[in-house]
Structure 1
Amino acid sequence: MPFVIATLGTQIAPEGVAILEASGATLIATPAYPSRTDLLALLAQHNPDAVIIRLIEHLDGELMDAAPNLKLIAKHGVGTNDIDIAAATARNIPVIMATGANAHSVAEHALGLILALTKDFAAQDRHIRAGRWDKKLYAGRELRGQKLGLVGFGLIGQILARMAQPLGLLVSAYDPYAPDSAFDNVTRITDLDSLLATSDIVSLHTPLTPATRGLIDTNRIALMQPHALFINTARGEVVDEPALIAALQAKKIAGAGLDSFAEEPPQRSPLWNLDNVILTPHVAGVTEDAKRAVSTLTAQNVLHFLRGEAVEPRYFVKPS
């Protein structure tokens, strides 16, 4: 009997669909951010063997119970804050994610935000469009010799460090869980406050966990230097967003490049009115290349698991 696999929150890339269809699986997909009522109805009607999570508000225990045959939850990506891991664990439903599949794209995006801010691209674009040609308005600076501080030093942070060093950036990182072997030509900082206080650019690469929620709070933002830039391609909830907005408004830090927000999709925010901020809609990890890689890996791992074949331990989410 073919497996039933539901993608919750838009279809996966064609390469992943092809892998699943070739196995004979029956595929079900919802639009992005389906209503809870629609999710409950779909899960009850189709009773999938596995669900692939893309763009939904939250998969909780009640939704899991709506599909009694559910054997596996797969995140199409690496952030699992939209899945109730405790509820899945209580029901003996493993959760997997696409570890590393989009890491290069996220690291590139972070570097792109750093370059756009330090080279003052957004402001210069506005000047040209407004008919101003005045080089005295340029506020660009070199990256060479500046200190890049990485908060979190998993695969994305490590890739970004390797990209940044040839540009002359001096890279340091804070991550109490990363092994010493990861810090190749990168200075390990054991105190987060020290890293924030001494970095010219701070880039956030930590997952959202109970320990990291609100990690970058009012007091820690206040430690940053007035010329410092803040980059977030991780999770919005790791940052006290009102505190960050206040610091940007008061020019207590120089600018920010943000790809994630405390609420997504975000409602109208004071961030929209700040000219020292570059905003992108949580797209760092969804380049066409990354989508293909994530979809392919996710499809393969889902099928391996449902067939009783081995799935590498690094893809399983550990209960907190």
Structure 2
Amino acid sequence: MEKTVVILGGDLAPEGRAVLEAAGVTTIATPPYIDRSKVIAAMQAHRPDAVIVRLLAEQLGAEEMEAGGRLRHIAKHGVGTNDINVAAATARGIPVTMTTGSNGHSVAEHALALIMALVKDLPRQDALIRDGIWDKNRYHGRELRGQHLGIVGFGFIGQTLARMAQVIGMVVSAFDPHTPDHAFADGVTRDIDLDALLGKADIVSLHCPLTPETVNLIDGRRIRMMKPGALLINTARGEVVEERALVSALEDGHIAAAGLDSFAMEPPGIDNPLVHLSNTLVTPHVAGVTLDAKRAVSVMSAEQVLAIFKGETPAPRFLAR
């Protein structure tokens, strides 16, 4: 198969690259977080038949799509397509696919890990011991059992986290106007009012996609509606949260702590207070890229590319719209 695929923003896992190479596809990977000019240069240099999008500094737009002259497919290495102008791709007859379900368990586990680390006071205890302080009176850990987890966005990831939390003994409710009623089963309460959920949850975990409707969904007003002393967990997209308002609420103690895997600007600037506050636990947008998930996502995105090359139509759940 004489085809070329450019992987934009970092290489695939070896298993994914092997899928393409076994089919005779030429693959080229760029460094992570390249800007538009470098994307255009790569498209012009390699004239790919398809691209796999990993980590870009700017959205993949119409000019980049047209730069190579023969682009037939855009595959997202993951499920968040906010870094792709899907409307521009659709207008040009270029399908955009996602690896739906491939890394959901990893993201849900990461959210739970952030919750447990903060509730059990682990980052602060680790810092105290490293400073030579052994004082059990400074331990502020709590039980998760009986605490109210409010999930915003109840797709596959939110539902997976809910099941995990219920096993621990947490009370779970969720807000998602797009998820059908039958998903709210086995004791998960459907909240039809986001403000009401925020006002009663001990822990709020965000799992909604980034859309025009969800930009700053958790804004200053809603942050102040959260239960005093609550925790905020974000393994979705940084732009879902109004960061300045979150900083203010963390500094004055209205929000006890935040576990953040994503930021409005990535990588965040060194002057971003969220990476310096003592009551934040931060990770570099890695919830969905465990070794297991990266293999699964890489293989699925490579298989989707080959399917398009063969003229196959992806299942609707894999198509971005």
- State the TM-score, normalizing by the size of structure 1: 0.97
Query: Paired residue for 1:178?
Result: 179
Query: Paired residue for 2:290?
Result: 287
Query: Paired residue for 1:308?
Result: 311
Query: Paired residue for 1:96?
Result: 97
Matching residue's letter, 2:167: P
| Counterpart secondary structure, 2:233 | strand
Which digits, 9 at most, give the CA deviation of each residue in 1:157-184, with x for residues without a partner? Answer: 0000111101110000000000111111
Query: Paired residue for 2:86?
Result: 85
C-alpha distance in 2 between matches for 1:34 and 1:310: 30
C-alpha distance in 1 between matches for 2:215 and 2:310: 36
Which blocks of at least 5 consecutive residues in structure 2 are unaligned? none
| Counterpart secondary structure, 1:265 | coil
C-alpha distance in 2 between matches for 1:34 and 1:278: 27
Q: Aligned-pair RMSD on alpha carbons?
A: 1.0
C-alpha distance in 2 between matches for 1:7 and 1:277: 33
C-alpha distance in 1 between matches for 2:24 and 2:238: 39
Matching residue's letter, 2:70: N
Matching residue's letter, 2:319: F
Which digits, 9 at most, give the CA deviation of each residue in 1:261-316, with x for residues without a partner? Answer: 01001102112331111011101000000000001111111101111124211100
Runs (4+) off by over 4 Å: none
Which digits, 9 at most, give the CA deviation of each residue in 1:29-49, with x for residues without a partner? Answer: 111122433321221122111
C-alpha distance in 1 between matches for 2:38 and 2:210: 27
| Counterpart secondary structure, 1:172 | strand
Matches within 5 A, 1:57-206: 57=57, 58-185=59-186, 186-206=188-208
The 10-residue stretch of structure 1 (252-261 or 264-273) with the greater mean CA deviation from structure 2:
264-273
| Counterpart secondary structure, 2:255 | coil
Matching residue within 218, 223, 247 for 1:216: 218
Matching residue's letter, 1:29: A
C-alpha distance in 1 between matches for 2:96 and 2:37: 23
Q: Do residues 247 (structure 1) and 249 (structure 2) align?
A: yes
C-alpha distance in 1 between matches for 2:309 and 2:118: 46
State the 1:223 CA deviation: 0.6
Q: Do residues 37 (structure 1) and 37 (structure 2) align?
A: yes
Which blocks of at least 5 consecutive residues in structure 1 are unaligned? none
C-alpha distance in 2 between matches for 1:228 and 1:111: 15
C-alpha distance in 2 between matches for 1:83 and 1:118: 36
Query: Paired residue for 1:15?
Result: 15
C-alpha distance in 2 between matches for 1:4 and 1:294: 19
The 10-residue stretch of structure 1 (50-59 or 143-152) with the greater mean CA deviation from structure 2:
50-59
| Counterpart secondary structure, 1:143 | coil
Query: Paired residue for 1:271?
Result: 274
| Counterpart secondary structure, 1:254 | strand
The 10-residue stretch of structure 1 (62-71 or 149-158) with the greater mean CA deviation from structure 2:
62-71
Overall identity of the aligned pairs, in %: 60
Matching residue's letter, 1:253: I
C-alpha distance in 1 between matches for 2:240 and 2:296: 26
The count of aligned residue pairs is: 318
C-alpha distance in 1 between matches for 2:39 and 2:264: 23
State the 1:141 CA deviation: 0.5
